[in-house]
Structure 1
Amino acid sequence: MDSPVQIPFKSFIQLKPEDATALYLQIVFEFIKAIQTGLLPEGTKLPGTRILCKLLQVNRNTLIKAFQDLELQGWIEILPNKGTFILSEKKEKKKTDYIFTEKNNSQSAAFTFKHSTILEDPKEISTIPYQFNDGLPDLRLVQTDVLARLYVSKLKGQKSTKTWEQIQTKSHLNFKIQFSNFLNVTRGIRISTSNLLTTNSHEISLYLVTKLLISAGDKVVVASPGYYISNMTLSDSGAQIITIPVDKDGINTEDLKQICEKQQIRILYLTSNYHYPTTTSLSAKRRMEILELANRYGFVIIEDDYDFDFHYDNNPVLPLASLDSNERVVYIGSFGRSLPAGFGYGFIAAPSAFIKELEKHQNILEPGIDVIKEQVLTEWIKEGEVHRLSKKNKKIYKERRDYFVLLLKEKLEGKIKFQVPLRGLAIWVEWLDNFNLIRLQKQCAINGLFLPKTILYQTKNLTATRLGFGHFDTAEMENAVKILRQSLDEIT
C-alpha cells in the first residue's frame, strides 16, 4: 500500500472552520464518510498526527480529540509505536464467520508499481446464514432453462460460409438496433444505434465515461449521501468531488446553483430516478432546473439509472435524458439485472461523436463481442420475452417489498422511519435512537445476520441503513428482521 502521506486527504476531507459544528466533529464525520465510501479502506495506515495536522491545517489537539472519538466509535485503531489504522475486522473473525476479501499486503513484488488508495474493494463476504445487501435481485427467479436452450440453439446455428468477423458485425448491429428500440420504448429517449454503446457491465460504462470526461483537478458534484462505487471511480479519475445534500425531492438545486456561481463545474453525477442510497426520486421541478443549470453553466450531467428494471407503478418516472434537448446528458444504465451473471449489460446513451470516441477505448478494454449472448438477447427483446420476464419479476418483487414493509412496521415500530419506494429492491431506513451502527453490525453477526459496512450510514445528524429485500423470500425476511430487532434491543 502507498505511504499514508500520499493519500489525497484534501480531496475528500472537506473542513469548514466557519461552520457552527465543532472542528473536531467535522473531522470525525468526514473520516467516517471516507471510510464508508471506500476512500479509506480497512487496514489503511494513517499519517502521524503532526503530518496530518499540516495536511488538513488543524490544531494537533483538535485532531487527537477527533481520533479519540473515532477510536471510541470503532472506526480506527491506535496501536502504540505502530500507528493509527482504519479498523480491521481480523479480531472479529474468531467470534463470527466473517470472511473478508482482503489483499495480502505482506507479500511484495521484486519491482515497483503504482498502488491505489482509492480503488480498494470495500465489499465484504460472509458465510453468516442471513445477509442484507444494498438491493440485489434473487437469482433463484431466473429462467435459466430458457436461456440455456436459446444459447445452445444459437451456438449450433453458427454454421455459415461467412467469416467470424462478418458474423460479429451483423449480430452486433442487430443487437444494437433491437436494444436502442427497447430503450426508446421503455425509457422515452430518442436514440439510434449511433447514440448507443453497450458494455459488459454498468461499472465499465461509468469507467469509460469518466475516462473521457474528467481530467485531474476537474470539479465534480455528487449527492451526499452517495454511491461508494461511483465515488471511487470519480476520485480515481482525478476529480475533485464536491458534495451537496439530498432531501425528499432529490438533490438540492439551490445548493448546486450557488456552487456553479462560485466555481467551474465539469460534471454533475446523479442517480435521478432512484437516488442511491436514499431511494428518493428527483422531482419534476428540479429536473427542469438541473437541465437549465447545465445549459447555463456548461457542465455535463452523468445520469446513472442503475435500477430502472424494478419499478412498481404503471407510469415510471422517465430519465433526464428523455428531456435533454441540448445534449448535456450522458445516460448510463444496466440491463438484465435479473438475468444470470454474464447475460447482463451496461450501456451508454450519448451524442454520436462521444460514442464514437468511447468505442476507441472500449476496443482496448473489451475487444471481443460475445456473439451468442447478443443473439440470445436480441431474440428475447424481439420476441417480447424481456417484457414478459420483467412483468413477472416485478409482481414478485412488489409482493416482497410490501411484505418487507409490513415486517419493518411490525417489528421495528417506534425505532425507525422510512418511505415506501416506488422502485428498486432496497428500503432506506433511518434509525430514531442514537447508537453506533458498527456495534449493531457486530451484534447482528453474533446472532446470525450479516450487515456489510457498505449499507451503513452514520453522521452527526443521520443514522441510517439501506436494507435490500429482493433476494429474500418471506421466511428469510421474517428471520432477518427478527434478528435485526433482537440485536438492536441487545445494544440499546
Structure 2
Amino acid sequence: MNSPVEIPYKSFIVIDRKSEATIYMQITNQLINAIHRGFLPFGTKLPGTRTLSKILNVHRNTMIAAYDELLAQGWIESYPNKGTFVIGKNTQNNSEIESFNQENLTHYPKKTGFHFKISNILDNPFEYSNCEFIFNDGIPDIRLAQIDQHSKIYTSTLKRRTHKLKHYNHDGSEFFKENLSQYLNLSRGLPITTHNLLITRSTEMSMYIVSEILLSEGDTVVVGELSYFSVNMIFQNKGVKIITIPVDKEGIDVDALKNLCKKQKIRVLYITPHHHYPTTVTLTAQRRLELLNLANEYGFIILEDDYDYEFNYDKSPILPLASADTHGMVIYIGSFGKSLAPGFRTGFIVAPENVMIEMRKYLGIIDRQGDILMEHVLGEMIAEGEINRYLKKSLKVYKERRNHFTRLFEDSLGEFVEFEIPSGGLAIWIEWKVPINLLKLSKKCNENNLFIPKTLLYQTKDHTAMRLGFGSLNFNEIEKSIDIFSKNSKLIL
C-alpha cells in the first residue's frame, strides 16, 4: 500500500457513540488491534490527523488525542516533515499482509493456532429447556430463601467493625471455620477442630481436590452400581479404574465389597450413605460398622459424600460414618447452606490433619482468594441460630411437598410404578413395574411443557427408573407436572 489513505480505516475502526468508552480511546484501541493483527505493518505511514479525522468523521482534536495516546504507549513515532509511522520492523511478507480482511480485525479468533488435549469425559452432562415445568434431581427452592434476611446480615457485616474479618488465610475464614466445626460437632457428631476442616466452593471442588491428592492413574475406585454421574466424571478424568457394586434396600452390598477386596487392591470407596444417590436409600447401621471394619482390614479409603444431610423429615438422621471413624480411614465431604439462597452456600471437607495440610496446598492454587465476607456471614448465621431457625421452617415446607408429590404420584401412576417415600432429601426414586421407553417419555413430556433431563433417566437391562426432584416445585407446580407426566406416560405404555 503506497499511500496511507489507501488503507480502508473505516473497515476496522468502528465508533460506537453510545459506548461509555471515549471516542479517542475507541480509535486508539482499534488502531492497536490493527497493528497487532498485521493490518498496519511496522513502518506503515499513518495519515495526518486532519485527513484521518475526515475519514472517520470525528473532530480533529479527537484524532490528535488518539495519536498522542498511541505515541505515549510507544506504538507510533512522528518525524518533522515526514509524517507519523508505526514503530518497529516489518516481519511479515506482503502476501501475509494482503490476506488480512475486515473479519480478521473485528472478530476474535474462532480457533487456536495450537493443538491441545480435548476431554470427552468432562462434556457437560446437563441439559436446559424453556419448559414451564422442570423435574430435577432434587434441588432446593430458592424462592423459599429469606434473601432479605441474608442481605441484612451481609450488609451489617460490611458496616460493622471488621476485627473478626482479619483472621483469614487462603483456606477460609477462621471465624466461619470455628462456628462450622462446632455446628458439625453438634449436628453430625464430628469431634473436629478447625484443623480438620477445609472450606471449598462446592462439593465438586471438594471432590476434585480429594481426587488430586488421593488418586493416581490406574487406582481402583468402587462406587455403587448406580452412582452420582458428576463425581464419576471426576474419577474418570483422573484415569482410575471404576468398579461398581450392587445397591439394595439397605444401601451398598457390603458382602460384594468384601469379596472384591479379597481379589484385588481397592484405593477408594465412594458412597453417599445418608441418602444414596440416586436411589435415596439409607445405609443401615449394621452395614456402616461393617464398612468401617473392612476399611481398617483392607486399607481402602472411604470417601463419604453427605450431599443432603440437612434434609430429614420423619426421624433423626443417622450420624455419618466419619463420626465413628477411629482409624482415620474416612474423608467426609458435605455442603453447608444448601437450603439458602444461591451465593450463600459452600462446601467443606473433614479429614485428619496430615492430609488436610496437603489439601490446603491445592486450595491455595485454585481458590486462594476465597470469599471472606460470605464465610463471615455464614458464621454469623450459625452463631445467632439463624441457620437452625430457617432450616426448621424450610423442612416443614419440603415435607409437605414430599407428601403431596408422592400422594399424587400414587393416585395417578400407582399401578405402573413403585417407590418408597424417602425419610429425607428432595427427590424420589421411581421404578417402573412395566416396560416403558424413558427417552420417549421424556421427549413427549418436553413437547407438553415438562422438561425431564436425561440425567434423571436410568434405563439398563436391570433398571427402568427415574430420580425425580420435588423440592423446587410448589403445590400447583407439582400438580401440573404430575398431570403432564401421568398423561404422557399412559400414552406410550
The answer to whether the 8 A contact 1:208-1:362 is kept is yes
Cα separation, 2, equivalents of 1:424 and 1:169: 32
Within the candidate set 127, 148, 152, 1:149 is matched to 152
Cα separation, 2, equivalents of 1:167 and 1:357: 18
The corresponding residue for 2:188 is 187
Cα separation, 2, equivalents of 1:329 and 1:143: 35
Correspondence list, 1:15-54, <5 A: none
For structure 1, the residue ranges without an aligned partner over 5 or more in a row are: 1-105
The corresponding residue for 2:336 is 335
The answer to whether the 8 A contact 1:171-1:375 is kept is no
The answer to whether the 8 A contact 1:270-1:303 is kept is yes
- The structure whose RCO (Cα within 8 Å, separation 6+) is larger is 1
Correspondence list, 1:55-74, <5 A: none
Q: 1:215 to 1:205 in 2, by over 3 A?
A: same
The corresponding residue for 1:55 is none
Correspondence list, 1:86-165, <5 A: 108-157=111-160
Cα displacement (A) at 1:166: 5.2
Alignment of 1:199 with 2:200, yes or no, is yes
Question: Larger C-alpha radius of gyration, 1 or 2?
Answer: 2
Q: 1:156 to 1:262 in 2, by over 3 A?
A: same
Q: 1:187 to 1:167 in 2, by over 3 A?
A: closer
Alignment of 1:257 with 2:225, yes or no, is no
Correspondence list, 1:168-179, <5 A: 172-179=173-180
Cα separation, 2, equivalents of 1:479 and 1:455: 19
Deviations 1:300-354 (A, max 9, x none): 0000000011111342111111111111000001111111222101000010111
Percentage of identical aligned residues: 47
Q: Tell me the secondary structure at the aligned position of residue 330 of structure 1.
A: strand
Alignment of 1:216 with 2:217, yes or no, is yes
Cα separation, 2, equivalents of 1:397 and 1:166: 37
Q: Tell me the secondary structure at the aligned position of residue 484 of structure 2.
A: helix
The answer to whether the 8 A contact 1:187-1:322 is kept is yes
Q: 1:168 to 1:258 in 2, by over 3 A?
A: closer
Which amino acid in structure 2 is aligned with residue 348 of structure 1? Answer: I
Deviations 1:262-314 (A, max 9, x none): 00000000001100000000011111111111000000000000001111134
Cα separation, 1, equivalents of 2:114 and 2:136: 38
Q: Tell me the secondary structure at the aligned position of residue 381 of structure 1.
A: helix
Cα separation, 1, equivalents of 2:264 and 2:171: 47
Q: How many residues align?
A: 385
The answer to whether the 8 A contact 1:429-1:466 is kept is yes
Cα separation, 2, equivalents of 1:455 and 1:137: 16
The answer to whether the 8 A contact 1:269-1:301 is kept is yes
Cα separation, 2, equivalents of 1:226 and 1:369: 30
Q: 1:288 to 1:152 in 2, by over 3 A?
A: same
The answer to whether the 8 A contact 2:171-2:363 is kept is no
Q: Tell me the secondary structure at the aligned position of residue 411 of structure 2.
A: helix
Q: 1:444 to 1:171 in 2, by over 3 A?
A: closer
Correspondence list, 1:292-311, <5 A: 292-311=293-312
Cα separation, 2, equivalents of 1:167 and 1:323: 31
The corresponding residue for 2:95 is none
The corresponding residue for 1:466 is 467
Cα separation, 1, equivalents of 2:450 and 2:127: 13
Cα separation, 1, equivalents of 2:270 and 2:162: 46
Cα separation, 2, equivalents of 1:467 and 1:246: 19
The corresponding residue for 1:99 is none
Which amino acid in structure 2 is aligned with residue 307 of structure 1? Answer: D
Cα separation, 2, equivalents of 1:474 and 1:159: 43
